[in-house]
Amino acid sequence: MEALNQKQIPLLDLKAQHQQIRDEVLAEVTRVIDSQKFIMGEDVQKLEQEIAAYSQAKYAVGCASGSDALFLALLALDIRPGDEVLTTPYTFFATAGAIHRAGAVPVFVDIEPDTFNMDMSKVQDILAGRPRIKAIIPIHLFGGCADMDPLIEMAAARGVAVIEDAAQSIGSEYKRRRAGSIGDIGCFSFFPSKNLGGYGDGGMVTTNSPALRERLAALRVHGSNRKYYHDWVGVNSRLDALQAAILRVKFRYLDSWTEGRQRNADVYRRLLGEMKAPVTAPVPTPYQTRHVYNQFCIVAPRRPPGLSQGEWRRDRGLLPAAAPPPGLLRRSRVQAERFSRQRAVRPRISRAADSLRVDRQRCRARLPRHPGVLRLNRCELSSTIGTECFKGCVGM
Ligand SMILES: Cc1ncc(COP(=O)(O)O)c(C=O)c1O
C-alpha cells in the first residue's frame, strides 16, 4: 500500500496554475500597489461587470467572501429573526451559518442522491407546513446546477425569495441559463480552491433587480451608498482591489480551465467504465447543460468491515469531498445548539445522511480535477483505481 500512497495525485495544484499566469499576476499586483488604491475602485467595478455578463445577470456586487455573499443576500431580502430559510444540509457550513447570522433559522430539506442537490419533490410539503419560511437557498454543489424551474415556480407561488448558492459553480448552466441569474440573488465565492479562485478570500453577489443591487452595494459598506449617509445597518465586506485585479487575470483563463475540467471528467467516466469500477460517477442531468466540475465526486461501495473511513481512503490515495458529509452538519455542536428549533425536519436530515453516508455504509471520494492533471497522471489514476482501489470492498 505504501507504493500506492506515493502515487497520490494532488487534488488541486495551485502552484502549477500560478506558474502559468505568474508574470501577468505580478504585473497587476505591482500596478495596484504602486497606485496605493486598495479599496474598491476601477478593478472591482470592472470585475463586477465581467462577472455579471459572464453569469448572464444584470448586476454584480463584489464582497469579502462567499459566506458574506450569502449573508448580504439575506440582509438585502430583509430576512429577520423569527424567519426561516429552506436549504439542504449537504453543503459547506457557510450556507446554514449565514442564515443563522441573519437571525433566521435554517430548515433542511433532503437532497437527491444522484445530483447531491435539493430534492425539489420534497419542497412543496415543507413550504406548506412552515409559514415562516421567507427564502430558499438551493446549492449548486460540486459545479452542477440544482433543478431551478420547479423551485422558482413553488417560490413564486408562495412569495418567497430564491438565493442561489453558486459558490462552487461559476459558469455552470441550468437549461442554458447561467448560475446566479436564475433566482433573485446569486452568491459566488473566490476562495482559492474555487474554479475562479483569488489569492485570498473574495466573493460576489449577482442580481437582475436594480433595487436589490442598490441595497447589496450599500450593505457591503455599512449600509451606505453616499459617504457618511447610512440608510441601512450593513457590514464591512468589500472585495479589495488587489484581489479584483488578480481575479481579472484568472478570469481570462476560466473558460479554458473549465473545458479542461470537463475533458477530465469525461476521461474519468470512461476509465471508470472500462475498469468496471463499482462506483457511481457524476453524470450531468439533461437540465445541467454546463457542469463545471468544481469537484468530481464518486460514490464508492461499502468498504470492508473493520476499516475506518480514513484508513480506507488513505490506503487508496483518495481524498475526502470538500463538502462535509451531511452527518457533519447534523452532528456539529453549533447545529445542535443553534439550529435545534426545527424538530419537524430533523428526520429528513437523517435520511439524507443515511442515503449518502460517507463514514459507515457508503464511501464518497473525490478524484483530482485540475486541468492537465489527468493526462500527466493517467497511469497512476488507472492503476490506482483499477487494481487496488476497490479490492476487498463488499460486493467485489
Ligand atoms: C457551497 C458553498 N457555499 C458557501 C461557501 C463559502 O464561501 P467562502 O469560503 O468564500 O466564504 C463555500 C466555500 O467553500 C461553498 O462551497
Name the amino acid, one letter, at 94. A
Q: Is residue 198 lining ligand 1, measured as CB closer than 6 Å?
A: no
Return the ligand 1 atom nearest residue 193 CA: 14
Structural domain total, the chain: 2
Residue 191 covered by a domain? yes
Q: 478570500: which residue's cell? A: 201
∠ CA(44), CA(216), CA(101), 5° rounding? 115
CATH of the domain at 130: 3.40.640.10
CATH of the domain at 272: 3.90.1150.10
**What percent of the chain has a predicted confidence (pLDDT) above 90?**
56
100 beta partners: none
- Model-level pTM? 0.86
Note whether 101 and 201 are same-domain residues: yes
Return the ligand 1 atom nearest residue 67 CA: 11
Enclosing H/E stretch for 298:
strand 296-300
Residue where a domain terminates, one of 224, 251, 278: 251
* 14 pLDDT more than 90: no
Distance 93 CA to ligand 1 centre (A): 8
DSSP-derived secondary structure letter, 9: P
Distance CA 11, CA 203 (A): 22
Residue 394 covered by a domain? no
Note whether 265 and 207 are same-domain residues: no
- Ranges of beta strands (E only) in 49-195 are 59-63, 84-87, 105-108, 133-136, 161-165, 173-174, 177-178, 185-189
Tell how far CA 218 is from the center of its chain: 25
Residue where a domain terminates, one of 222, 251, 280: 251
Note whether 262 and 244 are same-domain residues: no
Q: What is the arithmetic mean of pLDDT over 192-199?
A: 95
Return the ligand 1 atom nearest residue 189 CA: 10
pLDDT, tens digit, 9 for 90 and up, residues 338-357? 554 444 343 333 333 222 22
Note whether 139 and 239 are same-domain residues: yes
* Domain membership of residue 382 as a residue range: 2-12+254-389
Residue 395 covered by a domain? no
Distance CA 169, CA 320 (A): 19
Distance CA 275, CA 175 (A): 32
Q: 462552487: which residue's cell? A: 168
Q: If DSSP codes are grouped into helix, strand and coil, which group holds residue 267?
A: helix
pLDDT, tens digit, 9 for 90 and up, residues 32-68? 999 999 999 999 999 999 999 999 999 999 999 999 9
Note whether 270 and 237 are same-domain residues: no
Nearest CA to 179 among 64, 44, 95, 288? 288
Residue where a domain terminates, one of 199, 224, 251: 251
Q: 422558482: which residue's cell? A: 152
Note whether 263 and 360 are same-domain residues: yes
pLDDT, tens digit, 9 for 90 and up, residues 304-338? 566 666 676 666 555 554 444 444 444 444 444 45
Note whether 162 and 61 are same-domain residues: yes
Distance 211 CA to ligand 1 centre (A): 25
Note whether 263 and 315 are same-domain residues: yes
Note whether 112 and 237 are same-domain residues: yes
Q: CA neighbours within 13 Å on the CB side: how many for 257?
A: 25
Distance 365 CA to ligand 1 centre (A): 19
Nearest CA to 313 among 367, 274, 269? 367
Note whether 200 and 244 are same-domain residues: yes
Note whether 280 and 380 are same-domain residues: yes
By the 8 A CB rule, do 106 and 126 touch?
no
Note whether 269 and 354 are same-domain residues: yes
Q: Is residue 294 lining ligand 1, measured as CB closer than 6 Å?
A: no
Distance CA 136, CA 158 (A): 11
Distance CA 356, CA 89 (A): 12
Distance 95 CA to ligand 1 centre (A): 7
